[in-house]
Structure 1
Amino acid sequence: MKLAVVGGGSTYTPELIDGFARLRDTLPIEELVLVDPAADRLELVGGLARRIFAKQGHPGRIVTTSDVDAGVADADAVLLQLRVGGQAARNQDETWPLECGCVGQETTGAGGLAKALRTVPVVLDIAERVRRTNPNAWIIDFTNPVGIVTRALLQAGHKAVGLCNVAIGFQRKFAKLLDVAPSEVHLDHVGLNHLTWETGVRLGGPQGDDILPKLLVEHGDAVAADLRMPRAIVDRLGVVPSYYLRYYYQHDAVVEELRTKPSRAAEVAEMEKQLLEMYGDPTLDEKPELLAKRGGAFYSEAAVDLAASLLGNGGSPYQVVNTVNNGTLPFLPDDAVVEVQAAVDGSGAKPLSVPKLDPLYAGLIANVTGYEDLALQAAVHGGRERVFKALLAHPLIGQYAYAEQLTDSLIAHNREHLAWA
């Protein structure tokens, strides 16, 4: 089995490598190719990756290359985890929207649109290269904004499934609170990428007893603290919103918070410098503790599980993924991409049925889906007017004057990445 990781020079890759090494029985990789244009980072990350495999007794071969075509050739699956523009572009995404009082975040609001505009054309080019070299390969997208990127891939006819670590993070945290094995926890997880709610927590599988009400009564303080939201919000909803819902439910408070501290991108950039220095140590043969602060908890476990299922090598029968709607949420277009529990096997991901949603959630999902449709049009076709319409449609913006100002700022800060600008 051959896997390719595009964006393999990321400082987060050793987390993925550690998961591949630990879970080699689930996903028996014979060759792993790390692909990245940053040759200096790639060499450091590749060296540590080989040492991790060696220490854990993994027999697989790790190859590094900056040649996308060579890297993805003959791969059974290609994992995308790239960041166009690096942390410098992310820092801009998190700062210039604050100038007009809108949240600055890399996947949500104006910053999220900027990331989509930079990312979608690059991902589609990579996917075409994969299709030319190996049309049967699965593409697993972990590149944000996952929902928009996955929708772009699917609409272009690629074999793609999107992956986010929010659901597996909840699964692991709930399992710890309930003192059960993570495999026992099944989530009624519904929404769009970074716009989801846990409407049920079941033990034993999709038909198990829903113990969410009990979980909130007994552990509501811990759940709310992890979300960085007041417990009153969780109690009144009766469900567990993802962390990203705080940008909607507490928008103005979050904007003030972001204005008073360094951006997350600045923090990560400093962390990356330290990590790369560590990776250069030839005696280091395991992921350093500092990596846990980098973000993306449990990503490796989710990636292994999904790849194993898609490649017919086992894996969990039910997983939370980003895939085509096809009537799962009847108030959305069939070609929308939703993030829900799905049955996953070699033929792809088939969403499980979802009970009728409360308008409180359905309305916001429909609104953001409309924005994502406009965002994808802007990313694929370009043009100032398309950018403006996407910003005007976003529920975190929605005002003409803000959309005008943010359009100009977005283009000014991303011109080098926009072929049409």
Structure 2
Amino acid sequence: MEDKKFTVCIVGGGSRYTPGILKMLVAEQDRFPLSKVVLYDNEYDRQAKVGEYGRLLMNEYYPGCEVIDTTDPEVAFTDIDFAFMQIRAGRMKMRRSDEHIALKHGCIGQETCGAGGFAYGMRSIPAVCDIIKDIRKYSPEAWVLNYSNPAAIVAEATKRVFPGDKRVINICDMPVGIMNQYADALGVPRNSIEPRYFGLNHYGWFTAVLDKETGEDYLPRLREIFSEDLPEEAFSELDASWSATFHFMRKMVRECSDGMLPNTYLQYYLYNQHMLAEENPDYTRADEVMNGHEKMIFEMIDEVIANGKFEGTKYAFTLESLKDDDHATYIVDLAYALAHNTHDVFLCMTENDGIIPNFSEGAMVEVPCIAGTNGLEPLNVGEIPAFQKGLLENQFAYEKLTADAALEGSYRKALDALTLNRLVNDTDKARALLDDYIAANKEYWPELK
């Protein structure tokens, strides 16, 4: 296995994240050697640019790795070892629609939380499941690392559509991003600490942050650090939304973490009125991304293609400078662990089979898992406190009903899901939201009856 060169397919090859993943694969070429990277997307023009960028990149920094881009599933998925799935059904246009419809009805529209997360989940489930069916048709043994959002709802669906398929793994890089903030605050290397954590995706708590060598638990120290208010310029390296998120995290640590450390997304569930008041109905997060990071990435791609090279331009880089991308590093680290049986620990989604004994059996919980050639081996969490259990049971019921609605085409279950959602919590409002979302998503949702 050490001498094997892998073939990786990036599903959603036209994504703004793909250049970062390609560069991380370049940086990891000695550890995780590749023979080919395939970009697969259903939008030819957008992906073709990323494909040309990738070929220029590999030509200069990784000449032994071929890059192709295609819209043909057979070409994309035949004889691959890994599929990195990062699709966004409906792209940013529909994310913007989700957010604006929710805000019109006085609800948070965030892409994975509340009404916006529901609408996105209803689009993602059929799209992700159809792609995995194609992957299984052409590469039955490929590892499918799915980090398409909303990951919890998608994981609930893939568990049912592909029962027992241990090579379909649902992951999220958000806990890793938080862990990297912890490492920076502690002044320790980012790969030197390991989490203990429980919850659902974007809805969980850190119970320990351990030094991998000594076993020291940094959690008490981190609680002190993350309880203190910081100067406004802290987190200036992040965009405005994420900077505000990590500042607000301190309020959560002080007020409602029960000796643990909360996932930043809990701000939406525990302080929903505050978060709603912070929303700008004329300029949502989707607008911010489209006019910010996405625009910047594709301008960069256009410049590289126009230059025809990296070296001698402002986009030249060293391999060492690349090893700081949360999104891409996590994916490559997990792929390496699966291929080489490292038994490293990752936060992944897996079925609750006694991992949390006082929580719903079969729920797709996000917990630390040992990764190796046989897949994931979750670490036992034990019983969780009543407050966290109550929040999680409510959220799981909403996620389960959303998956039911998408897979069964059920209007009733869609309405029940939205009514139960903690950020909606009203039947009349849920019905109005649902009817608006049905009208907006005719191209993407199954018909609801």
- TM-score bracket, shorter-length normalisation: over 0.9
Which residue matches 1:17? 22
- 1:31-61 deviation line (CA, Å, top 9, x unaligned): 1100012111111111222222233335211
Which residue matches 1:318? 345
Q: CA RMSD in A?
A: 2.3
Which residue matches 1:391? 418
- Pair 323,38 (structure 1): closer, same or farther in 2 beyond 3 Å: same
Which residue matches 1:259? 280
Report the secondary structure of 1:9's partner residue: coil
What CA distance in whole angstroms lies between the structure 1 residues aligned with 2:219 and 2:70? 46
Which residue matches 1:239? 260
- 1:278-309 deviation line (CA, Å, top 9, x unaligned): 212223639969xxxxxx95111100011112
What CA distance in whole angstroms lies between the structure 1 residues aligned with 2:215 and 2:63? 37
Letter aligned with residue 288 of structure 2: E
Letter aligned with residue 40 of structure 2: V
Which residue matches 1:59? 64
- Pair 297,415 (structure 1): closer, same or farther in 2 beyond 3 Å: farther
Report the secondary structure of 1:330's partner residue: coil
Greater shift, 215-224 or 43-52, is seen at 215-224
- Pair 89,192 (structure 1): closer, same or farther in 2 beyond 3 Å: same
What is the aligned counterpart of 1:215 among 216, 222, 225?
222
- Pair 230,86 (structure 1): closer, same or farther in 2 beyond 3 Å: closer
What CA distance in whole angstroms lies between the structure 1 residues aligned with 2:86 and 2:100? 23
Asked if 1:152 corresponds to 2:157, the answer is yes
- 1:323-382 deviation line (CA, Å, top 9, x unaligned): 222121223333211111100111111111113222221211111111111010011111
What is the aligned counterpart of 2:361 among 334, 337, 341?
334
- Pair 399,37 (structure 1): closer, same or farther in 2 beyond 3 Å: same
- Pair 325,25 (structure 1): closer, same or farther in 2 beyond 3 Å: farther
Asked if 1:198 corresponds to 2:206, the answer is yes
Report the secondary structure of 1:229's partner residue: helix
Greater shift, 14-23 or 355-364, is seen at 355-364
Query: TM-score, normalised to structure 2's length?
Result: 0.87
Which residue matches 1:412? 439
What CA distance in whole angstroms lies between the structure 2 residues aligned with 1:214 and 1:333? 32
Query: TM-score, normalised to structure 1's length?
Result: 0.92
What CA distance in whole angstroms lies between the structure 2 residues aligned with 1:42 and 1:420? 29
Report the secondary structure of 1:280's partner residue: helix
Which residue matches 2:331? 303
Aligned residues: 413
Letter aligned with residue 309 of structure 1: A
Report the secondary structure of 2:377's partner residue: strand
Asked if 1:166 corresponds to 2:174, the answer is yes
Greater shift, 69-78 or 263-272, is seen at 263-272
What CA distance in whole angstroms lies between the structure 2 residues aligned with 1:297 and 1:392? 38
Contact 1:102/1:396 (8 A) holds in 2:
yes
Letter aligned with residue 285 of structure 1: F
**Which aligned runs of 4 or more in structure 1 are off by greater than 6 angstroms?**
286-289
Letter aligned with residue 190 of structure 1: F
Which residue matches 1:285? 310
Contact 1:38/1:66 (8 A) holds in 2:
yes
Gapped regions of structure 1 (runs ≥ 5): 290-295
Greater shift, 260-269 or 374-383, is seen at 260-269
Contact 1:26/1:315 (8 A) holds in 2:
no
What CA distance in whole angstroms lies between the structure 1 residues aligned with 2:333 and 2:177? 14
Report the secondary structure of 1:104's partner residue: coil
What is the aligned counterpart of 2:248 among 229, 238, 255?
229
Q: How does 1:171-182 map to 2 (within 5 A)?
A: 171-182=179-190
Which residue matches 1:275? 297
Letter aligned with residue 284 of structure 2: S
What CA distance in whole angstroms lies between the structure 2 residues aligned with 1:386 and 1:323? 24
- 1:36-91 deviation line (CA, Å, top 9, x unaligned): 12111111111222222233335211111011222011111111111111111000
What CA distance in whole angstroms lies between the structure 2 residues aligned with 1:298 and 1:380? 32
Letter aligned with residue 301 of structure 1: T
Identity %, equivalent residues: 31
- Pair 285,261 (structure 1): closer, same or farther in 2 beyond 3 Å: farther
What CA distance in whole angstroms lies between the structure 1 residues aligned with 2:114 and 2:63? 42
Asked if 1:139 corresponds to 2:147, the answer is no
Which residue matches 2:77? 72
Asked if 1:90 corresponds to 2:109, the answer is no
Letter aligned with residue 407 of structure 1: L
Gapped regions of structure 2 (runs ≥ 5): 1-5, 236-242, 317-323
- Pair 397,331 (structure 1): closer, same or farther in 2 beyond 3 Å: farther
Letter aligned with residue 172 of structure 1: N
